[in-house]
């Protein structure tokens, strides 16, 4: 704290609060930035607090009169870390609320309007931290619930976009161009390829470029070493085999030529991991840089295999065989604020840990980009194989809503003769359209894929990362990179982190204020009757319109002969109806209808219950989305379990006729157990569906029963007054949703009382 603040507090007869201001590092600049809730936290006592606010208001008015320019800059709250608006980044509004009356808006607010979502979220988080501190230190049921609810308000689910494509297709260049970071992901050499999964997201914590290297465990590497050495020992005569060469490469990049003369036990020696002690400690390694280019040079050894054409003596030690995943964070990148782009290598991995992560990420993708060169987009087998082999994992086994088939290097077409620039552009655009038609025609032939994804889910893009950067022969829009940027921005815009947090905070504050100020009348019977009917009728519930909903029927309807199509209808990834034909989303306690009636004495409680009802639906839909992946994959999982003894026996076969004996072992096992095996797979899926049905009913009943009891059966004596906080959060909620202010909820008797935040 500087002398200015100390002198002012002394001048205003508030010297007893000097230490508090020092502890919170309030200097001259931040003094002018203080808002009502900041002041209440610093000076909780009503008397001194009102004096301070009056003095600060007069000080600001005097400053406005004597030095308007200085005043404007000094009263800005939470300035943006982005100094300019370059690269299309949106500049944050620099404004905030002060103790001035609403009629005296600051110049910055008049020009730039309402607060940004980031500022609203920051304000409401501050309010809820303050409310959490105000809650009494008691272990009663209500206070435990409130503290736990505030703690879990922050749930940020990121949208995942998976990027597939063979080596040299231009994945890295595409990602770099789309996010506006030309030097982030290494690209160039065709013979060098990305060997591990790379996640790219925004770094909203600091202005550094950051890479987090996550390693496989020591135990997993020991197991892989054993597998590699046994594989090489059994295949010495197959040196040209691709798997053999892959195994040799993994050992060579880590151990040089030493691996050829030593046993696997020697390769866990610490000397091989001096540069990565984090691997031995089972920790992640963090790399940071000021520029994308510097960071790229640092993490390349953890992600890519080198060019096979380079002299082995010149190749430095690489660590990608030990890496599970690399997460690259780009500072303050708006397109990645709520979106993660994932560069996915191939179709899984031989390493169990990496394969599990690969399947998990693919199953969590809301959109998939399949990247291939335009000159062979329709005929490229690998791209279509990726789609065919992964479609069930992305569709019914995942949550993918869109597939984008991205044809790269579109600028490579049209280079013929001495055409004018306009002629070349016209030819490129024409050939791009022809490529799109061929790709769509090829997609229409994929019957199995179309069971999972309709043609409306499939979109084709023809892009040129190079032309987007240099702008020589094509306009930026012609490269279609802006379309992909717009798509990512839409994903960010649809993300409801701020609204979810503010809505949850509004519900919690409504419960607290309702418990604090309500009278003795209770009207909970209607809610209990609904829940009793739900449980007593075995999952059958009537909506407000009288429509009969049978959850049991919907849960058991997915197992039909056409399981993919029916499963997709039952657990849709796209649309807003939700699972089970909208049964979960249609459930209602009727709080909105009751709020329109004469229920003023429990209106705050009804607001809380409405929020809890929406939260319950969100949680149940999330549970179903995750569980349906397991249910869908249970058929394969059961088959794998039943086939495992057969695989184990086949692995032990050695000597002459190995291949023939392995084949016969597998064939005999399948023929001998196919009836039981497939019946058990069906039964396992049915059991999981029944378990999900019971869990939904139980969670639905328990969550709403608990919420009702908390809202209508709790003594409010020990509950603090949060009328001011509720009014502030209500204002933000209305601003985010565009809802009119609810005049029925009056949280304070006067502006003076509204400013008194009681500890």
- Of 235-249, 514-528, 628-642, 645-659, the range with the highest mean pLDDT is 628-642
- CA dist., res. 396 & res. 451, Å (int): 9
**DSSP 8-state code for residue 85:** -
Cα-trace Rg, the chain: 31
Q: What is the DSSP string of 396-411?
A: TTS---EEEEEEE-GG
More confident residue, 410 or 307: 410
- Give the Å distances, CA to CA, from 267 to 124, 272, 694, 729: 53, 7, 50, 59
- CA dist., res. 731 & res. 723, Å (int): 12
- CA dist., res. 229 & res. 643, Å (int): 25
Place of tokens 């770099």: 176
Q: Which two tokens stand for residue 55?
A: 């003095």
Q: Which residues, including other chains, have CB under 8 Å from residue 337's CB and lie 6 or more apart? A: 202, 204, 492, 495
Q: Which two tokens stand for residue 311?
A: 């002299």
- CA dist., res. 286 & res. 279, Å (int): 12
Looking only at the bridges linking them, the beta strands covering 193-194 and 304-305 are antiparallel
Paired residues of 175 in beta bridges: none
Kind and range of the H or E run holding 199: strand 197-203
- CA dist., res. 583 & res. 575, Å (int): 14
- CA dist., res. 403 & res. 387, Å (int): 9
pLDDT at residue 328 in the model? 96
pLDDT at residue 697 in the model? 84
Q: Give the residue among 516, 443, 488, 491 at the shortest CA–CA distance from 715.
A: 516
Task: Tell me the pLDDT of the chain averaged across its residues.
Answer: 75
Indicate the range of 349-353, 441-445, 703-707 predicted with least confidence. Answer: 349-353
- The C-alpha angle 276, 281, 285, rounded to 5 degrees, equals 45
Paired residues of 327 in beta bridges: 199, 212
Q: Give the residue among 718, 717, 719, 727 at the shortest CA–CA distance from 747.
A: 727
pLDDT at residue 460 in the model? 94
Q: Evaluate whether 321 touches 253 at the Cβ level (below 8 Å).
A: yes
Q: What is the DSSP string of 698-758?
A: HHHHHHHHHHHHHHHS---TTPPP-HHHHHHHHHHHHHHHTPPP-TT----SSHHHHT---
- Using pLDDT thresholds of 50, 70 and 90, give the confidence band for residue 417: low
Place of tokens 């960071």: 295
- Give the Å distances, CA to CA, from 96 to 12, 102, 515, 564, 583: 24, 12, 31, 52, 42
Indicate the range of 89-98, 213-222, 244-253, 453-462 predicted with least confidence. Answer: 89-98
Q: Which two tokens stand for residue 501?
A: 């947090």
pLDDT at residue 104 in the model? 29
More confident residue, 598 or 211: 211
pLDDT digits (tens, 9 = 90+) for 50-72: 888 888 988 887 776 655 444 43
- Give the Å distances, CA to CA, from 736 to 282, 321, 396, 611, 677: 43, 47, 34, 15, 53
- Using pLDDT thresholds of 50, 70 and 90, give the confidence band for residue 586: confident
pLDDT digits (tens, 9 = 90+) for 514-565: 776 654 336 443 333 333 332 234 333 333 343 334 333 332 333 334 467 7
- CA dist., res. 716 & res. 60, Å (int): 40
Looking only at the bridges linking them, the beta strands covering 548-550 and 304-305 are unpaired
Residue 726: CB atoms within 10 Å: 26
Q: Give the residue among 290, 297, 313, 385 at the shortest CA–CA distance from 347.
A: 385
Mean pLDDT for 372-394 is: 85
Percent of the residues in the chain that have a pLDDT greater than 70, as a whole number: 74
pLDDT at residue 503 in the model? 85
pTM of the model: 0.64
Mean pLDDT for 213-233 is: 85
Question: Please, what CATH class does the domain formed by 158-207+332-412+425-494 belong to?
Answer: alpha beta
pLDDT at residue 188 in the model? 60
Helices 497-517 and 603-651: crossing angle in degrees, nearest 10, is 130
- Using pLDDT thresholds of 50, 70 and 90, give the confidence band for residue 276: very high
**DSSP 8-state code for residue 386:** H
**DSSP 8-state code for residue 103:** T
* Burial group, residue 750, by CB count within 10 angstroms (0-12, 13-18, 19+): exposed
More confident residue, 400 or 574: 400
- CA dist., res. 292 & res. 302, Å (int): 16
Q: Evaluate whether 301 touches 315 at the Cβ level (below 8 Å).
A: no
- CA dist., res. 269 & res. 726, Å (int): 60
pLDDT at residue 87 in the model? 36
Place of tokens 């998976």: 162
Give SS3 for 548. strand
pLDDT at residue 126 in the model? 87
- CA dist., res. 82 & res. 72, Å (int): 19
- Give the Å distances, CA to CA, from 435 to 26, 61, 483, 533: 62, 66, 18, 58
Q: Which two tokens stand for residue 617?
A: 């639906």
Whether the per-residue pLDDT at 367 is higher than 90: the answer is yes
- The C-alpha angle 543, 155, 330, rounded to 5 degrees, equals 135
Task: Give the sign of the dihedral formed by CA 175, CA 178, CA 184, CA 186.
Answer: positive
Q: Give the residue among 297, 332, 60, 324 at the shortest CA–CA distance from 204.
A: 332
Looking only at the bridges linking them, the beta strands covering 209-215 and 285-289 are antiparallel
Q: Which residues, including other chains, have CB under 8 Å from residue 586's CB and lie 6 or more apart? A: 543, 547, 549
Q: Which two tokens stand for residue 429?
A: 């655009």
Does CATH number 3.30.930.10 belong to domain 3-62? no
pLDDT digits (tens, 9 = 90+) for 284-315: 999 999 999 999 999 999 987 664 444 444 44
Q: Which residues, including other chains, have CB under 8 Å from residue 72's CB and lie 6 or more apart? A: 106, 107, 108
3-state secondary structure 636-687: HHHHHHHHHHHHHHHHCCCCCCHHHHHHHHHHHHHHHHHHHHHHHHHHHHHH
Give SS3 for 454. coil
Mean pLDDT for 363-392 is: 87
- Using pLDDT thresholds of 50, 70 and 90, give the confidence band for residue 94: very low
């Amino acid at each position: 704290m500087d002398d200015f603040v100390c002198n002012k507090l002394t001048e205003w007869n508030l010297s007893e609060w000097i230490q508090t201001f020092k502890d919170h590092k309030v200097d001259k600049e931040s003094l002018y930035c203080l808002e009502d809730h900041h002041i209440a936290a610093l000076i909780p006592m009503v008397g001194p607090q009102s004096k301070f606010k009056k003095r600060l208001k007069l000080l600001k008015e005097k400053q406005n009169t004597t030095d308007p320019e200085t005043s404007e800059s000094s009263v800005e709250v939470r300035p943006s870390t982005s100094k300019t608006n370059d690269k299309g980044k949106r500049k944050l509004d620099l404004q905030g609320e002060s103790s001035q009356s609403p009629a005296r808006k600051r110049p910055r607010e008049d020009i730039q309007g309402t607060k940004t979502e980031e500022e609203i979220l920051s304000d409401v988080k501050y309010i809820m931290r303050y409310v959490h501190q105000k809650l009494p230190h008691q272990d009663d049921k209500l206070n435990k619930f409130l503290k736990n609810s505030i703690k879990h308000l922050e749930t940020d689910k990121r949208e995942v976009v998976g990027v597939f494509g063979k080596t040299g297709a231009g994945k890295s260049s595409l990602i770099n161009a789309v996010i506006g970071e030309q030097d982030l992901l290494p690209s160039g050499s065709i013979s060098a390829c990305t060997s591990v999964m790379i996640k790219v997201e925004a770094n909203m914590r600091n202005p550094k470029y950051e890479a987090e290297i996550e390693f496989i465990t020591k135990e997993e590497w020991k197991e892989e070493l054993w597998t590699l050495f046994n594989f090489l020992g059994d295949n010495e005569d197959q040196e040209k085999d691709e798997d053999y060469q892959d195994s040799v490469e993994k050992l060579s990049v880590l151990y040089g030529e030493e691996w050829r003369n030593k046993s696997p036990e020697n390769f866990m020696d610490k000397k091989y991991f001096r540069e990565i002690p984090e691997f031995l400690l089972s920790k992640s390694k963090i790399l940071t840089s000021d520029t994308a280019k510097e960071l790229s040079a640092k993490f390349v050894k953890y992600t890519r295999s080198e060019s096979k054409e380079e002299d082995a003596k010149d190749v430095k030690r690489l660590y990608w065989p030990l890496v599970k995943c690399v997460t690259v964070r780009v500072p303050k990148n708006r397109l990645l604020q709520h979106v993660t782009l994932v560069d996915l290598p191939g179709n899984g991995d031989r390493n169990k840990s990496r394969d599990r992560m690969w399947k998990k990420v693919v199953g969590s993708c809301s959109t998939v980009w399949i990247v291939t060169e335009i000159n062979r987009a329709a005929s490229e087998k690998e791209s279509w194989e990726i789609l065919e082999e992964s479609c069930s994992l992305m569709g019914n086994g995942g949550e993918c809503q869109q597939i984008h088939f991205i044809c790269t290097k579109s600028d490579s077409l049209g280079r013929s003769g001495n055409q004018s620039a306009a002629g070349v552009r016209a030819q490129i655009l024409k050939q791009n359209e022809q490529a799109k038609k061929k790709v769509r025609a090829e997609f229409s032939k994929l019957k199995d894929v179309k069971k999972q994804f309709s043609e409306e889910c499939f979109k084709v893009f023809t892009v040129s990362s190079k032309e987007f950067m240099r702008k020589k022969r094509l306009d930026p829009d012609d490269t279609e990179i802006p379309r992909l940027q717009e798509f990512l921005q839409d994903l960010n815009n649809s993300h409801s982190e701020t609204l979810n947090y503010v809505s949850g905070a509004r519900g919690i504050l409504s419960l607290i204020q309702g418990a604090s100020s309500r009278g003795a009348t209770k009207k909970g019977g209607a809610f209990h009757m609904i829940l009793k009917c739900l449980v007593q009728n075995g999952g059958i519930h009537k909506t407000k319109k009288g429509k009969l909903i049978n959850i049991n029927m919907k849960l058991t309807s997915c197992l039909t002969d056409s399981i993919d199509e029916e499963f997709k209808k039952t657990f849709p990834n796209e649309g807003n109806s939700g699972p089970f034909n909208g049964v979960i989303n249609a459930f209602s306690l009727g709080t909105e209808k009751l709020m329109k009636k004469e229920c003023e004495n429990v209106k705050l409680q009804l607001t809380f219950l409405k929020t809890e009802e929406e939260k319950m639906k969100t949680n149940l839909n999330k549970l179903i989305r995750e569980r349906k992946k397991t249910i869908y994959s249970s058929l394969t999982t059961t088959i794998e379990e039943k086939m495992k003894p057969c695989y184990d026996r086949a692995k032990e076969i050695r000597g002459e006729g190995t291949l023939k004996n392995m084949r016969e072992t597998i064939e005999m096992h399948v023929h001998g157990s196919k009836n039981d095996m497939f019946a058990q797979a069906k039964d396992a899926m049915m059991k999981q569906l029944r378990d999900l049905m019971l869990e939904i009913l139980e969670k639905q009943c328990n969550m709403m029963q608990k919420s009702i009891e908390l809202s209508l059966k709790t003594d409010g004596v020990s509950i603090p007054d949060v009328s001011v906080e509720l009014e502030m959060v209500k204002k933000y909620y209305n601003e985010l949703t565009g809802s009119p202010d609810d005049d029925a909820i009056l949280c304070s008797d006067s502006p003076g009382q509204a400013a008194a935040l009681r500890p």
